[in-house]
Structure 1
């Protein structure tokens, strides 16, 4: 097992979910980062809380798959999921996706995100740097968008789905279509949390959250693996139970 920054560190940090699909639980805030590889590039799901974290993710993903990060999908606008994006800009054709409206919200809330990051323990200089270099998504998803990582129709297929609002007003899910008998894998962002009760902050829309999980289940189906924004990988039954708990918690049918 390698240590951070040494050869082999990527294999130690990342959990392989299927051929070409992996995820990492980051230290500190336990946010999940996803990676879905085609033959020519990798889509990364969320980018960590700082540029330093983003650079580490980029380095390790390249080590895992031997490919550049060509696509980034941001599941929602919380600091621990988006502030590392600028570390991926070394690839000139990088495509950054988010739910429609995410770009305007991130631009408007840039300073609030910096303050939130500091309040949660990010070094002030690192938080300021990440906020100054904040990358806004330029491919906006209003319904569903199919992404062909190889551009030829024969490689890894990824579906981006705007399934929110719920945890925030801009919740994006990422479905890696299973190949060679592997299950579909759904990266849920913080619509689903396994390591604790789902967090409903001031930007949550509690009345809409159960319906967002209904859409998430329709996207993945009964046999998919669901990857929470925080915690261990779960199944459809867990998502359904969490949906019912949220409905009871917020008084939604």
Structure 2
């Protein structure tokens, strides 16, 4: 019997004929590190967290520039070009993710985290910084390392009396002193004061004074964390912190506004990679100096 030719072809209504060209959306748990794209805005980033706000689950995506944006959890995302519906991670997925992170966890400074390690009793050595913001930044990035080493960070409240502070501290072989100075560039008041402090020959072997070139420690945070290519230049005669806060479009009239602005800036710092190399080098060198084995 001769074969019958179907001149109309296959049944056009057979199969999933309503499926969109890119395929049907599938559910995917929004695990930390998953890279997806929001279809509506084109925003592409890695999942950093999922939280519930105002009764709605929100997934936060961080792009390659370190900027973070929140989106409603659900449909409307692409994973490797295919549509997906993001769902809240299950307890099992969260546990697996936490276990993986713990297995290869590092401190914010990039050091290997020591699970279950207790802070050592404070050693005699210290690192001194100019102000509270410096101390908070050092604590956020290097705090775990310093606690393991038993090193305490203390405030100078400026370097005008740096030589006197060194004399009072009386550093020695087992009592080293590291000092981090803001705006340490040639020709500045800070440079002159540091030269005077370094001239104290009695203590010189046990004191290391390093700094960074930035007007304020705020400026050691990479500007990309705030959406800038570079920190704005503030006109002479204007308060630098007030000028920066105004440039960010934040309230800047009171000291409380400035304090809040710093908290927001500090909040953008996740690890050492969010800081400028000059500050990193100085702090790391000071930590190495004050934790070097002492001579009895």
TM-score, normalization by structure 2: 0.21
Return the index of the structure with the highest Cα Rg. Answer: 2
